[in-house]
Each structure stands twice: as structure tokens, then as C-alpha cells.
Amino acid sequence: MKAHDPKAEIITFGVELETTIPVTSNVVVGAYHVGTTVRSGTEMNTGIPLTAPTFHGAHWKAERDGSIITRPGRLACEFVSPILSGSEGVEHLLQFVEWANAIGANVNASCGCHITVGVKSIIGTDDPQAMSEFGRKLAHIARWHAMSLYGQTGTGRHLNRYSHTLGDDVGTLVRQMERNSNPVRKADAANRCGRGMINFKKLFSHGVIEFRVFAGTLNRH
């Protein structure tokens, strides 16, 4: 992201990194959707405590996720970011990934990387009709270019039940979402889209769309 791009600089986003961490990392992992604040962890090689990066004073959370497969000596841990923005947010994300690597976090085929974006920060309005049109266009692009999107992070992500391709039913639902003027029915159509490679369920309740297409990674590059 280029710092001189004013439109990109105001985009708000959040990141969920599904990982496994050593039981010796001293990171307390909270329950699903009830994450604990990530303040520090133990450096894998030296045992030295490492303070976790914060974004404008806001901490990441650590929570359990039943979809993550682990082996003995490791814990399933989904790291959930605070709300980030612009190039500063991207730089912070890289700093957190560096910290996660230092405490011994890693990923496997069961892990994903989920990115949630604030729609208003992209299109400049929270008008329900404008958000409906954005959602419908995004679904169309995602369906046509699905394998190219999956191909950025591996060869089997489309087979994961939590990040599957968008079906014909989603195409029908986003058209209903766009054509229906009733806010309640718009929200119902978005919710019925389910959670595939793109999650529209919170489009009208929280004003966000979640991208679930990406495989798990802790690679800064």
C-alpha cells in the first residue's frame, strides 16, 4: 500500500490469523469469540519475554477455534487484531507477524487468514442501497475469479468447508439484496449468504465484509 494514496489510507480493516502456538509461549488463549488480551509471549529460542505490538494502544486478542488442527505440545490460537487502517495498519500487521514468529507460532493446512474490511471506508457511504450494490458486484467478481484468488495462497484452500466457493444461491441472494428496498430483507439476504470465501453476514449489522479466501500464513513477504 502506498502512503500517498489517500483513498487507501482511510480503509479500515481487521485481521484474524489462525495459528498454532507452543504451550510454552505463555500466551493465554481465551474461548471462541471471548479472546484474551495479548500483552506478551515468550521468545521461542531464548525464553525471553517479548511485548506484543499494539496499534494506537489497542491490543490483539487470542481465542480458541475448533477448526484448527494441532499436534502435541501446541495450542490452537486465532489472533484477532484491533481495527487497523491504511499503510500504518499494514506496517503494524507485519510487526505483529514478526512477534508471532518469534514466539514460535506457525500455520498448517487447517489454518486461514481472514480479513474484514469496513465497507463505508471503501465506498464512502453507509447507505444500504450503495452497500448492496457493492456487495453484489464483489460477489460477481469473486465467483468469476475464485481460483485465481485461491491460487495466491496454495492449491487446496477452496476445499476447506469454511472458505468454499460462492454458489449459485449466493448469486441469487446478493441480487435480492440489491433489488429489495426493505432494510430488514436486505439484512436477511446477506445473512443467508453464509460464510464461504467471502462472508456477507455482517454487511448491514456491522457494515463489514469478511474475506475468508486466504490460507493461513505468517510470511511477512
49: Cβ contacts below 8 Å, ≥ 6 apart: 26, 40, 41, 42, 43
Cut 0.85: pTM above it: yes
Predicted pLDDT at 167: 87
pLDDT for the residue numbered 221: 82
pLDDT of residue 3: 52
pLDDT at 152: 80
pLDDT at residue 161 is higher than 80: no
The whole-number pLDDT of residue 1 equals 44
Q: Which grid cell sits at 165?
A: 466457493
pLDDT digits (tens, 9 = 90+) for 28-59: 999 999 999 999 999 999 999 999 999 999 99
Q: What is the mean pLDDT of the chain?
A: 93
Q: Residue 56 — left, alpha, or beta (φ > 0 → left; ψ -120 to 50 → alpha)? A: left
For 85-97, the pLDDT digits (tens) are 999 999 999 999 9
30 secondary structure, DSSP code = B
At CA 193, angle to CA 188 and CA 198, rounded to 5? 130
Are the C-beta atoms of residues 12 and 117 closer than 8 Å to each other?
Answer: yes
How long a stretch of residues is the chain?
Answer: 221
Higher pLDDT, 146 or 157: 146
